[in-house]
Structure 1
Amino acid sequence: MDLERAKEILKSPEHIEVTYRGRPVWIEMVDEHAEKAQVHEEVNKDNVMIVPVWDLEDKG
């Protein structure tokens, strides 16, 4: 996924399915300078990760 799409998804009021390495995640924050996103797993909200934006996949 590119940085602009990640920011669009973050701002969207709709639920847009995003995965990281095949696991459904929710984008919490996008760091434009580092090109990374803070995400948490949808099934385990306590599992927060900082991942490269380009490793996220938009399933919507």
Structure 2
Amino acid sequence: MAQDRTIKAKASRLAPGTQTYSVDYFAKKHGISPIDARRLIKQHGNDRDAADKAANRLKG
């Protein structure tokens, strides 16, 4: 039987912020606190563009 690769593909598409380093990276990238970064990532989920725009509004 062929190997089911959909399980691995779904696992590789984790939402930003599910790992500690991505929250730290996002916070450093936008010059905001890790607490604010975690909140924005949680609020916008997989929509990285929306999270980036929200971080820029928060910063500016």
TM-score by length of 1: 0.27
TM-score by length of 2: 0.27
Task: Report the structure, 1 or 2, having the larger strand content.
Answer: 1
Structure whose CA Rg is larger: 2
Task: Report the structure, 1 or 2, having the larger helix content.
Answer: 2
Higher relative contact order, chain-length normalized (CA < 8 Å, sep 6+) = 1
